[in-house]
Copies of this chain bind each other. A is one copy, B any other.
């Protein structure tokens, strides 16, 4: 790969990181190109599609998050809640977190699997209501993450969800 090509690739990635984080997936690709100081064609030389660029930007972050879910622990409930907290923290600063779940089905599947493990163990420990599924949690979190950028208080939202998970099923 030529030197300037590598440089441009980085400029595109930097611009994409910044704009996806600020505005989410809906930011026009042309804006990213302008911010990077290149033409739209150049973006497509390095990434076959807008989705691919988005994944290149978010994949590593989300993968790290998911990896942190698989560390063994002796307090399953605390592990689950800590994970939700990390997701919320990440989403509070970067708007692309919630879009990542929507755009990439791979990512969503991985997240689902990670949450499933955490959730099941927390439920076996009796710390989380038994009628919640991993799907419920993914969806609930996605709703929460989106809500964070519309004026709500993120920590209050998270506490509500965590408390709600701990309460027992209504008759």
Contact = CB atoms under 8 A, between A and B. Distances in A.
Given A144-B143, A167-B167, A133 B161 contact: no
Interface stretch (A11-19, A22-30, A145-153): A145-153
Interface string A131-168: 11101101110111011101111001101111111110
5 contacts: A131-B153, A132-B160, A136-B157, A143-B146, A162-B164
Nearest to A142: B147
Contact of A147 (B129, B139, B166, B167): B139
Instruction: Report, nearest first, the 9 A-B pairs whose CB atoms are least far apart.
Output: A143-B143, A164-B164, A160-B164, A163-B167, A139-B152, A143-B147, A139-B147, A163-B164, A136-B152
Interface of A: 129, 131-133, 135-136, 138-140, 142-144, 146-148, 150-153, 156-157, 159-167, 169-170
B164 A161 contact: yes
Contacts of A148: 139
A10 to B, nearest CB: 35
A18 B147 CA distance: 27
Contacts of A153: 131, 133, 136
Contacts of A166: 163, 167
A47 to B, nearest CB: 26
